Amino acid sequence: ETGVTQTPRHLVMGMTNKKSLKCEQHLGHNAMYWYKQSAKKPLELMFVYNFKEQTENNSVPSRFSPECPNSSHLFLHLHTLQPEDSALYLCASSQAEGQGANEQYFGPGTRLTVT
């Protein structure tokens, strides 16, 4: 266990549904990240939160909406997704950004299938 948990582990949703992914870290970190991992493609950074403030939005479509209520929790709200959004969504955490070679610890991911 890396100290980062994600729920649900698997999710199947229709294109008109609204769902949320949850991430929680128990490491005392102040930075949290959402990544998308599609088949046969490198991990893509989606969002970065540093001390609960969003510091990076990597040109992600508005159908993905992040929320970071505190340094330990991160959500990804999903609505009107497309089939090409099917992927493994990974959450990670680290010590605050900009503080050297901070290692990122990844959760197990949520396998999302959009039908």
Partner 1 sequence: KNQVEQSPQSLIILEGKNCTLQCNYTVSPFSNLRWYKQDTGRGPVSLTIMTFSENTKSNGRYTATLDADTKQSSLHITASQLSDSASYICVVNRHAGNMLTFGGGTRLMVKP
Of 84 and 103, nearer to partner 1 (C-beta) is: 103
Q: Which residue from 97, 105, 100 is spatially nearest to 51, judged by alpha carbons?
A: 97
Out of 16, 41, 53, 83, name the contact with partner 1 by CB under 8 A.
41
Out of 18, 21, 40, 72, name the contact with partner 1 by CB under 8 A.
40
Of 36 and 64, nearer to partner 1 (C-beta) is: 36
Q: Which residue from 102, 110, 106 is spatially nearest to 76, judged by alpha carbons?
A: 110
Between residue 53 and residue 112, which ones bind partner 1 under the rule CB under 8 A? 56, 90, 92, 94, 97-109, 111
User: E strands, 4-97, where?
Assistant: 4-7, 10-13, 18-25, 31-37, 44-50, 53-57, 64-70, 73-79, 87-94
End-to-end CA distance of the chain: 31
CB of 38 to partner 1, least distance (A): 11
Residues found near partner 1 in the complex (CB under 8 A): 2, 4, 31, 33, 40-45, 48, 56, 90, 92, 94, 97-109, 111
